[in-house]
A and B are shown apart, each in its own frame.
Chain A
Amino acid sequence: KAGVTQTPRYLIKTRGQQVTLSCSPISGHRSVSWYQQTPGQGLQFLFEYFSETQRNKGNFPGRFSGRQFSNSRSEMNVSTLELGDSALYLCASLLAGGPGETQYFGPGTRLLVL
């Protein structure tokens, strides 16, 4: 069974640009969660999707958005990039997204904003 894939793995952008990151969950999994990891703030929850619906959202500004497609693949978008958006963005795949489920993490997308 293929694992969680994230594309691209590395990305360099400049301030003001926008970026779209992609996450393909494990086949059969219907829930995807997104996280941001920075040296200063550590890991923080961005949002969670289940069956194309955003189920939960973390405390991030509206510049951060996401969506999930019918094949469970998910994208997150960050508009008007700021230097502080430089981070490792991780997605996790879950069967249905219940609190007691194991999360399977992707390798992450490392974003650098110049």
Chain B
Amino acid sequence: GAVVSQHPSRVICKSGTSVKIECRSLDFQATTMFWYRQFPKQSLMLMATSNEGSKATYEQGVEKDKFLINHASLTLSTLTVTSAHPEDSSFYICSARGAKRGVVDTQYFGPGTRLTVL
């Protein structure tokens, strides 16, 4: 199967600090990775789309200077929440989509990262 990992699974930080979340595709090459945010009992909200080697495309209303995305390789994307504030507390989930036959348009999700900003 297609496995996506995220690290850390949960993080608590102080207001004003930056937090980096890693997303890795373990058994396939992900040409595209997505970052979502999910509030309790709500649906997934797409934040940005990143393709390997190019700049991320952010959804309307998402601050690109606050949520820095780097898709450095075909198996790794990172999301850095800069100068985090309590309102950034949320569940962040990445997904990966590969170019391998059979998974070209299927997104596989990571287990999520719970961010709490004090």
Chain A complexes with chain B: no
Q: Which residues of B contact A (CB under 8 A)?
A: none
